[in-house]
Structure 1
Amino acid sequence: MRDRLGRECLYVPSCRLGLYLALRHWCPPGGRVLMSPVNDDVIFFVVLAAGLRPVQAPLNARDASIDPAAVPEDQWRGLSAVLTTNLYGNPDPAPELAAKCRELGIPLLEDAAHAIGSDVAGRPVGTFGEASVFSLSKHTGAKTGGFLALRDPGLRQELAGARDALLLPSRRTAELAYAVRPYAEAAVRGLRLVRAARATLRLLGREEREEIRMPLRPGDLKQAAASAPGLDPFHSWVRVDLHDYRLAPGPARLRRTRHLLGRLDATLAAHRAGTEALQASPWGDPHAPARPLFRVPLLVADRDAAIAALARHRVTTGYLYDPPLDDYAGEPFTTCSPHPERARWFARHALPADPLRADTVLRVLHASGARPAPPPPAPPGERGA
């Protein structure tokens, strides 16, 4: 990854831990961070764990990228950093955001978890800010690990020390579970036992999301915020979907990650081909650049009906971020977007489609009669024109 990005890269056991390291290094406690409201709630809790105030940005409704022109000037002036999301691999406008950050003297931090193969303005996503974080559990499918890419290679040793101070020792039982997980998942899929397996996990208390968003638990969250910065008070939120996020990697994880990362170019080619097919559909954006998206946000009028139709054909829809974070958390825990309606529109209509299953997705949507979403709300500056 150092060769691909031209930046020093530091391995971390999870993207969320890498983001926490970056936020703690570049942002003073009590600072304010501009971010997208259409994002994983885990990232929201990582920002809170770093002792920072999330500030929700207005978005472009078509791809949920940050709209810099719609951010009020007084909101810019109070920021400590800008955090991009690059949702599903569609890049945020990094050149414009980087220029604004330079003007303000604050860092741009890039969350590139979904964007390991994406580019913007002829450069890879993750090469515009002071630091960027990538996930090795998305495109590569390693289900573990990530890395922190640094503009200044001289910071590597300092951040490696900060990482090591947060790591928990590797456990043999965790390594064994990781090693057998791909075979267990394949068996469950082959025997068509996915629903039964999820029901069992819920019964055992291991299924942590009964809905798209995890429970906020405002009372507990206020207590945790009083102890920030620190990961331990926020552990019950930050660990969701990935309990080993701080676990030092053992040999099984590293071997599998190296193997899958070695196939990255072929994986990205397959994602690009599927993305092109999905974007050319009635629910896609045929004018969007061809990128190897992790998921393609098809914009569907009745998203829930489309999800149900796909489920009947054993296509599971994940990576939904509805409602937006400001509606989910509210003013006690975040500064709400000044223009929330475009984020709400996207969150309500976006159907994240796996490009590796593009043929099946398109066949099901056509057969179900799914209609494209209605036009999105106009940008703030165009209202009343």
Structure 2
Amino acid sequence: MVSAYAELEEPMRGRLGGRECLYVPSCRFGLYLALRHWCEPGGRVLMSPVNDDVIFFVVLAAGLRPVQAPLDPRDGSVDAAAVPTSVWSGLSAVLTTNLYGNPDPAPELRKRCDRLGIPLIEDAAHAIGSTVGGRPVGTYGEASVFSLSKHVHAKTGGFLALADPALRDELAAARDALLRPTRPTAELAHLIRPYAEAAVRGLRLTGAARAALRTLGLEEREEIRMPLRPDALERALPAAPALEPFHPWIRVDMHAYRLRPGPAKLRRTGRRLARLDGVLAAHRAGTARLLASEYGSAAGAGAEAQPLFRVPLLVEDRDAAVAALARRRITTGYLYDPPLDAYAGERFTDPSPAPERAAWFARHALPVDPRRADEVLPALRTAGIRPAHLSTAPGGAR
């Protein structure tokens, strides 16, 4: 199994300039490993409020208090300059999101973390091909985590990349201690998932069929955010740091997030990883076209397009836009609304000092697969979807 992992780790190491890479069964699992290694329980972690709620629960499972950052409403990136001094001084770590592949300001965050003597951890799940400051996203932090479920479309796996290669053996041992044995049903679910998802989208399956998919862990959300279940979450908090008490939240959409991968998963992942450069080129071309449209934001204007995993078009009525795309059988995913501080409340997180920015972005962002740019733009225009104007965004007209 070690050699099978190595076959996946080596090409990723090359993409990150030689940074040590450790295969993990999921990005969320890798993030938990990183937080547990670098952060003492009880610490406070700056993070983006427009993020997958699973990541929020991973931070809680690591025994840490999420602190929500102010965002740039143009693209949802962290606005480091808007973080108050009082917030910086109380942090134990900074966790980037690189939402949809738009880089957070890692060079600036690196400098701030160095001054404070705290770790920078990069969540690069959406940003496997993005760059910032002339370097790949994921090469600034003490650790960074990548997903193989996004651009690579492997539906499993990821990497924990390390600035200090001497930590590899320690973190590999921590990984192995937390892994659970693979199950035949997990391998079967992995193999059939692409076909099941295609059937749901293309054939609009019945409620009974959707229930079957939920049983396999392929579809669990009825709304954008999973139910918070605050009383159950309150009862779980004293057990942190630990995965088991938070398993009902962390497993959502990926029941196999901590299972040791079987040979079928590893072979399929390797084949897909080998095709990544072509995928990134297609994402980059589609991103350029979408951002040049009337729905594109001004963020990154004039720069070479990043190979965004999803392009957050800014629309006046997102629900109407989602419906317009659905009529063309284009599914909209990766919505993160409401922001995490509005979702979880002060009981579980410190709110952003500028919550209106995240709320505006979350309400108007329409994440679009850049490979479908030629279908999406005509669908939105035909439906009369109007672009959202940054002049209406708090702090957005820069």
The TM tier, using the shorter chain, reads over 0.9
Match of 2:322 among 301, 304, 307: 307
Q: Which residue number corresponds to residue 377 of structure 1?
A: 393
Q: Which residue number corresponds to residue 269 of structure 2?
A: 257
* Contact 1:114-1:135 within 8 A present in 2 as well: yes
Q: How many residues align?
A: 381
Q: Give me the whole-angstrom Cα distance separating, in 2, the residues matched to 1:119 and 1:380.
A: 23
Compute the displacement of 1:200 (Å). Answer: 3.6
* Contact 1:57-1:67 within 8 A present in 2 as well: yes
Match of 2:149 among 132, 137, 147: 137
Compute the displacement of 1:196 (Å). Answer: 5.3
| 1:329 partnered with 2:344 | yes
Deviations 1:254-311 (A, max 9, x none): 0010000000100000000110111111000361630100000000000000000100
Q: Which residue number corresponds to residue 21 of structure 1?
A: 33
Q: Which residue number corresponds to residue 9 of structure 2?
A: none
Compute the displacement of 1:205 (Å). Answer: 9.9
Task: State the one-letter code of the partner of 1:307.
Answer: V
Q: Which residue number corresponds to residue 371 of structure 2?
A: 356
Compute the displacement of 1:123 (Å). Answer: 0.2
Q: Give me the whole-angstrom Cα distance separating, in 1, the residues matched to 2:397 and 2:380.
A: 34
Compute the displacement of 1:203 (Å). Answer: 8.5
Task: State the one-letter code of the partner of 2:13.
Answer: R
Matches within 5 A, 1:32-51: 32-51=44-63
TM-score after normalising by structure 2:
0.92
Q: Which residue number corresponds to residue 310 of structure 2?
A: 295
Secondary structure at the counterpart of residue 33 of structure 1: strand
Secondary structure at the counterpart of residue 61 of structure 1: coil
Q: Percent identity?
A: 72
Q: Give me the whole-angstrom Cα distance separating, in 2, the residues matched to 1:171 and 1:145.
A: 15
* Contact 1:61-1:376 within 8 A present in 2 as well: no
Compute the displacement of 1:64 (Å). Answer: 0.9
Q: Which residue number corresponds to residue 146 of structure 1?
A: 158
Question: Please, which moves more after superposition, 260-269 or 365-374?
Answer: 365-374
Deviations 1:147-188 (A, max 9, x none): 000000000000000000110001122212322333444455
Task: State the one-letter code of the partner of 1:162.
Answer: A
Q: Give me the whole-angstrom Cα distance separating, in 2, the residues matched to 1:315 and 1:102.
A: 44
Q: Which residue number corresponds to residue 231 of structure 1?
A: 243
Secondary structure at the counterpart of residue 312 of structure 2: strand
* Contact 2:75-2:297 within 8 A present in 1 as well: no
Deviations 1:22-65 (A, max 9, x none): 00000000000000000000000000000000000011010111
* Contact 1:88-1:294 within 8 A present in 2 as well: yes
* Contact 2:201-2:331 within 8 A present in 1 as well: no
Matches within 5 A, 1:80-95: 80-95=92-107
Match of 2:129 among 117, 126, 133: 117
Q: Give me the whole-angstrom Cα distance separating, in 2, the residues matched to 1:180 and 1:215.
A: 27
Q: Which residue number corresponds to residue 173 of structure 2?
A: 161
Match of 1:213 among 213, 220, 225: 225
Q: Give me the whole-angstrom Cα distance separating, in 1, the residues matched to 2:181 and 2:53.
A: 26
Q: Which residue number corresponds to residue 7 of structure 2?
A: none
From the superposition, tell whether residues 281 and 381 of structure 1 become closer, same or farther in structure 2 (CA, over 3 Å).
Answer: closer
* Contact 1:70-1:380 within 8 A present in 2 as well: no
Secondary structure at the counterpart of residue 55 of structure 1: strand
Q: Give me the whole-angstrom Cα distance separating, in 1, the residues matched to 2:36 and 2:238.
A: 16
TM-score after normalising by structure 1:
0.95
Q: Give me the whole-angstrom Cα distance separating, in 2, the residues matched to 1:16 and 1:271.
A: 23
Q: Any unmatched runs of 5+ in structure 1?
A: none
Question: Please, which moves more after superposition, 215-224 or 204-213?
Answer: 204-213
Deviations 1:307-342 (A, max 9, x none): 001001100000000000000001110000111100
Task: State the one-letter code of the partner of 1:2.
Answer: R
Q: Give me the whole-angstrom Cα distance separating, in 1, the residues matched to 2:24 and 2:94.
A: 21
Q: Give me the whole-angstrom Cα distance separating, in 1, the residues matched to 2:277 and 2:250.
A: 31
| 1:193 partnered with 2:210 | no
Query: What root-mean-square deviation, in Å, do the aligned CA atoms of Structure 1 and Structure 2 show?
Result: 1.9
Q: Which residue number corresponds to residue 14 of structure 2?
A: 3
From the superposition, tell whether residues 311 and 100 of structure 1 become closer, same or farther in structure 2 (CA, over 3 Å).
Answer: same
Secondary structure at the counterpart of residue 338 of structure 2: coil
* Contact 1:114-1:293 within 8 A present in 2 as well: yes
Secondary structure at the counterpart of residue 225 of structure 2: coil
Q: Give me the whole-angstrom Cα distance separating, in 2, the residues matched to 1:364 and 1:202.
A: 29
Task: State the one-letter code of the partner of 2:329.
Answer: R
Question: Please, which moves more after superposition, 235-244 or 164-173?
Answer: 164-173
Secondary structure at the counterpart of residue 249 of structure 1: coil
Q: Any unmatched runs of 5+ in structure 2?
A: 1-11
Q: Give me the whole-angstrom Cα distance separating, in 1, the residues matched to 2:141 and 2:344.
A: 27
Q: Give me the whole-angstrom Cα distance separating, in 1, the residues matched to 2:200 and 2:229.
A: 33
Q: Which residue number corresponds to residue 380 of structure 2?
A: 365
Task: State the one-letter code of the partner of 1:3.
Answer: G
Q: Give me the whole-angstrom Cα distance separating, in 2, the residues matched to 1:30 and 1:196.
A: 42
Secondary structure at the counterpart of residue 293 of structure 2: coil
Compute the displacement of 1:89 (Å). Answer: 0.1
Secondary structure at the counterpart of residue 275 of structure 1: helix
Q: Give me the whole-angstrom Cα distance separating, in 2, the residues matched to 1:83 and 1:288.
A: 27
